Chains A and B, each alone.
Chain A
Amino acid sequence: GCFDRHRQPPRPSFTHDDVVRLAATSPFSVNEVEALRELFNKLSSSVLDDGLIHKEELSLALFKTPAGENLFLDRVFDVFDEKKNGVIEFDEFVHALSVFHPYAPLEAKIDFAFSLYDLRQTGYIEREEVRQMVVATLSESGIQMPDETLEAIVDKTFEDADADKDEKISKDEWKAYAIRYPAVLKNMTLPYLKDITTVFPSFIFNTGVED
């Protein structure tokens, strides 16, 4: 009927001013924000073309298959979804990816990782949470590990990270640990972000400015 065209929710509009504002408040240039917009458009239309990334779309992007329940998917989605309204908007996408920029401050990466790993958002990474994440990582890759080995890995990690031996890792302990073992933050830097305009050159067709 005549109301059909109103059924599809309108895509949130995104102006050149928005691009400039995001570039001014992130490590990205105007052209890089435009390239990220191309990526965002792809990700946010894989299931429902409404200009927002839903959890299922993030799942498809990360795992390339519908993943169903996944501990890390839930955490990543939750940390990206600043407004906690169940969808990732473009602003939120740019904010979160800023942290992964090679030039982002180490402090930001340390905080972001802490927030991801503090599964129950108690302000501490608890021993049980670390165990749970190790189990999830192993099961994702189909790796079998004897319980004793798993416990030994968690024990060793807490020996190194839990300075006051209270069986949970505080923010300060995490900071000290991550600085001592930079390998634990390796996944917090995406070299792609330095070359995002070459990964998504199609931004050039929609650009409002030449950097």
Chain B
Amino acid sequence: QPVAMNAFELISMSKGLNLGNLFDV
């Protein structure tokens, strides 16, 4: 089974790590 994505790329998409959300006030 091919693995397209690496773990850190996946992790970097989590909401809690997307600080751009801070500007959305």
Contact = CB atoms under 8 A, between A and B. Distances in A.
Contact of B23 (A133, A152, A154, A192): A192
29 contacts: A39-B22, A62-B16, A62-B22, A63-B21, A72-B14, A72-B16, A76-B16, A117-B11, A130-B8, A133-B7, A133-B11, A134-B11, A136-B14, A138-B10, A140-B15, A141-B13, A148-B1, A153-B6, A153-B7, A153-B10, A156-B7, A183-B9, A183-B12, A184-B6, A185-B12, A186-B12, A187-B19, A190-B23, A199-B23
A70 to B, nearest CB: 6
B1 A64 contact: no
B8 A181 contact: yes
A152 B18 contact: no
B12 A140 contact: no
Nearest to B25: A42
A132 B18 CA distance: 18
A25 interface: no
B6 to A, nearest CB: 5
Nearest to A139: B14
Name, among B1, B3, B19, the residue most crowded by chain A CB atoms within 10 Å (CB to CB).
Answer: B19
B18 A62 contact: yes
Name, among B1, B5, B8, the residue most crowded by chain A CB atoms within 10 Å (CB to CB).
Answer: B8
